[in-house]
Amino acid sequence: MEAPLVLSAVLCLASLALLEPPQAAKPAANPAKAIDEKSFDKSFASLKQLGNDGKWSDEKRGLQKLLNEVGDQPWIRARRVEVAEEVKRAAVRSAVPQPDPATLIEGKLQHWDRSTGDLTVAYGPDQWKDFEK
Q: Please check whether residue 124 is in contact with residue 63, taking contact to mean a CB–CB distance below 8 angstroms.
A: no
Indicate the range of 10-19, 61-70, 95-104 predicted with least confidence: 10-19
Tens of pLDDT, residues 23-50: 444 444 444 567 889 999 999 999 999 9
Helix residue ranges per DSSP H, 1-126: 2-18, 37-52, 56-70, 74-77, 80-95
Is the pLDDT confidence value at 88 over 90?
A: yes
Indicate the range of 53-62, 81-90, 96-105 predicted with least confidence: 96-105
Tens of pLDDT, residues 54-82: 898 999 999 999 999 998 888 999 999 99
Q: Where are the domains of the chain?
A: 33-95, 101-131
pTM: 0.57
Q: How many residues can be counted in the chain? A: 133
Longest dimension (CA), the chain: 99
Question: Which pLDDT score is estimated for 14?
Answer: 46
